[in-house]
Amino acid sequence: MSEYRRDRLADRIRSEVAGMIESELKDPRIGFTTVTRVDLSADLRRARILVSVLGDERQRQETLCGLASATGYVRHEVGRRLRVRHVPELSFALDRSLDEAEHIEELLQGLRRGAPDNQG
């Protein structure tokens, strides 16, 4: 399997799932969610869908529960819309990269405030 093909399929899955979350999934547990990335296994049998959720940790966990309950529908629709022979098993996970980037930025800001001023 070429890496280009896997990346292209992952991008198509990301796009379809993002559209479904935005307009089709009506579960009240699902908050404001952005699909940030889809990681496909080399054999295309498993897809981990990384999402960023606006809100606190409780809202993030509720959203993950709502997405988990919609996995069957989402998988069925991905297969139907993309017309792939084997639809990957889907799982949803929180993308914590934005939280980590924010934490690093806070640490850097703290270092900048504590550093002596070298201009003088």
Report the sign of the C-alpha dihedral through residues 89, 28, 54, 59, in that order: negative
Share above pLDDT 70 across residues of the chain, in percent, rounded to a whole number? 94
* 3-state secondary structure labels for all residues of 70-84: CHHHHHHHHHHHHCC
pLDDT score at 118: 53
Average pLDDT over residues 7-16: 95
Domain boundaries, the chain: 3-114
Residues linked to residue 34 through DSSP beta bridges, in sequence order: 52
Cβ–Cβ < 8 Å for 52, 11: no
Checking if the pLDDT of 83 tops 70, the result is yes
CA distances from 64 to 7, 77, 84, 120 (A): 24, 19, 26, 52
Which residues fall within 8 angstroms of residue 31, CB to CB, at 6 or more apart?
53, 54, 55, 59, 60, 62, 63
pTM across the whole model: 0.80
Instruction: Give the CATH class of 3-114.
Output: alpha beta
DSSP 3-26: HHHHHHHHHHHHHHHHHHHHHT--
Point out which residues pair with 91 in neighbouring strands: 48
The answer on pLDDT for 120 being more than 50 is no
